Amino acid sequence: MKKIVLLGATSNISKYLIPMLLEKSDNEITLFARRANQRLTEYNENSQITLIDGDWNNISDLREAIKGQDIVYMATGHFVEANQNIVKVMKEEHVKRLIVAGGLGIYDEVAGKFGKWNARMMGDYTNIKKAAAVIDNSGLDYTFLRMSWLYNQDGNYNYDIVPQGQPMKGTQVTRQAIAKLISNIIASPDLYKSQSIGVVEPNTEWDKPSFY
């Protein structure tokens, strides 16, 4: 049995991740979001799921959600204070395993013409880099997903992993593929432990994503 909490459970990736996690009947899943009971009504009667209304800028809300969990998933890693709060509560509650959905470019690792396009589109990375550093320096068993540009395509679960220190060239990846990767990590928690990994769709080394 694994106990998993999704912080930001109404996110676009969580929409695909939750059904994957429900495929394993021994997963106990906590869905944490603002107005979770109103926004996630399809799970109100599901015996595997607990809904918690909360704000991850509120320490007591986070503590209620994180206490007793095996794995914490964060739907975004781009906010310094939220990251600090989550790391603090996880340490205090002795919860070690963390998976964070973040963006590419935090190590200036995006290569070539795509790198220039990405920098122009994203603008100032200062706060995003500071937020990522909170996770890097947390001492937790984290996996930080540096995702390329996201889009939806049913049935497309293809992804390649780009280790930290290698240039990211793949321009896009589906949310379905990211959800599959997260579910794989949850199933095998030692996978990519204490790593920041790039995630791209194979054969998408273009100047920009196909949908721009």
Q: For 140-172, what is each residue's pLDDT tens digit?
A: 999 999 999 999 999 999 999 999 999 999 999
* CATH tag for 2-200 (out of 3.40.50.300, 3.30.200.20, 3.40.50.720, 3.30.70.240): 3.40.50.720
For the chain, count helices (H), then strands (E).
7, 10
pTM exceeds 0.95 for this model: yes
Which residues fall within 8 angstroms of residue 104, CB to CB, at 6 or more apart?
A: 110, 118, 146, 147, 148, 168, 198
What pLDDT was estimated at residue 202? 98
Q: Indicate if the pLDDT at residue 45 is higher than 90.
A: yes
Model confidence over 59-89: pLDDT tens digits? 999 999 999 999 999 999 999 999 999 999 9
Beta-bridge mates of residue 199: 147, 161
Does the structure show a pLDDT above 90 at 111? no
Question: Residue 137 above 90 pLDDT?
Answer: yes
Which residue(s) pair with 6 in the sheet?
31, 73
